[in-house]
Structure 1
Amino acid sequence: MQLYMKQKMWSFKQDFDIYDENQRPVYRVDSKLISFGRKTKILDVQSGQVLCEVNQKVFSLFPTVDVIQEGEFFCRIRKQFTFFKPKYSVQGVDWVVDGSIFEHDYTIWDSNGDKIARIKKKFLAWSDTFEMDIKNEEVDTVLILATILAIDLAMDLSSN
């Protein structure tokens, strides 16, 4: 399954849509303008129902972001200390995130070494634009998207 995320370039809030391969909006990402730590929600475009939340953990040494689904903890994304290749641990599930030196080109693997998703950033775009190729249809797409958003948030936090 192919999904596309195009974040707005100049926006106080990080609100944007996630599109399918036919450029139809499938999910809406809505962030809180004022909060203690960044808080983002993934909503179903048609129903407006909140499907998942991505929340920054404020008091941590390395950028840390929690993914919450239906009020239940799903996983925690934490940037690990490395010199060259960015690496993120996914606590709560047996996933490994492995990225290139350009940081926005990475793969999510399961504990068996099978590819769950591949994410690529388009570099010649006016705003952050990501192409997500979700390989494992058995895993909830929303949880994969939330993990991708959490990684993007952790990368953004580590660059500030």
Structure 2
Amino acid sequence: MKQLYIKQKLLSLAEQFKVKDAHGNDVYYVEGSFFKIPKTFTIYNMQDEEIARITKKVFAFLPKFIVEMDGKQVITIKKDFTFFRSRYTIDAAGVEVRGNWWDMSFQVFQHGEKIGQVSKEWFTWGDSYKVEILKDEMETLIIALVIAIDCVKEAQNTAAAAGSV
């Protein structure tokens, strides 16, 4: 089992953060497009190779996020039409999220087999998540999924704050 840690800096205007291993070594880094449309987050390995890109679709009736890896769409997260409570659907080929992904406490399964687990680290500045990878070949997909879910949460919080003014 491999453990990775995602820690976003509180109030970071550059929208950059790193993914570290259990020893504190950088494994990936993430760059967001601060003032660009469409809003994107790109995940790179430490050799500066792009491993995934998360894009918020601009011309969609409801919020929709697409994760691409190797030029292929692998994950879609979209908001469902509901009247009372926000609800999102995650569509990833053979991958299922079980648990409370809104609170970043969930398990990731592929065809019924547990391949990862995510938990929020408490009492830290900014958002911090512990990601446990149980199947090495699924590491980049799980990291992309966690960062995409965090993007969805941030977009929802921003929309809620803008609506409450």
Query: What TM-score range do you get, normalising by the shorter chain?
Result: 0.7 to 0.9
RMSD (Å), alpha carbons: 2.3
How has the CA–CA distance of structure 1 residues 100 and 86 changed in structure 2, closer, same or farther, with 3 Å as cutoff? farther
Question: Partner of 1:74: helix, strand, or coil?
Answer: strand
Q: What amino acid is aligned across from residue 127 of structure 1 in structure 2?
A: G
Q: 1:132-156 CA distances to partner (integer Å, 9 max, x unpaired)?
A: 01112232x1121111111111122
Gaps of 5+ in 2: 160-165
* TM-score of the two chains, using structure 2 as the length reference: 0.82
* Number of the residue aligned with 2:131: 132
Task: Work out which of the residue numbers 148, 151, 157 in structure 1 matches 2:149.
Answer: 151
State the alpha-carbon separation in 1 of the partners of residues 103 and 77 from structure 2. Answer: 15
* TM-score of the two chains, using structure 1 as the length reference: 0.85
* Structure possessing the higher radius of gyration over alpha carbons: 2
Q: What amino acid is aligned across from residue 129 of structure 2 in structure 1?
A: F
State the alpha-carbon separation in 2 of the partners of residues 51 and 101 from structure 1. Answer: 22
Gaps of 5+ in 1: none
* Number of the residue aligned with 2:29: 28
* Number of the residue aligned with 2:14: 13
State the alpha-carbon separation in 2 of the partners of residues 102 and 89 from structure 1. Answer: 12
Matched residue count: 156
When structure 1 is superposed on structure 2, of 100-109 and 35-44 the one drifting more is 100-109
- CA shift, 1:84, in A, is 7.5
Q: How does 1:60-79 map to 2 (within 5 A)?
A: 60-79=60-79
State the alpha-carbon separation in 1 of the partners of residues 117 and 86 from structure 2. Answer: 16
**Larger helix percent:** 2
- Same amino acid, percent of matched pairs: 26
* Number of the residue aligned with 2:162: none
How has the CA–CA distance of structure 1 residues 81 and 114 changed in structure 2, closer, same or farther, with 3 Å as cutoff? farther
Q: How does 1:96-111 map to 2 (within 5 A)?
A: 96-100=96-100, 103-111=103-111
Q: 1:19-40 CA distances to partner (integer Å, 9 max, x unpaired)?
A: 0111100111111122113201
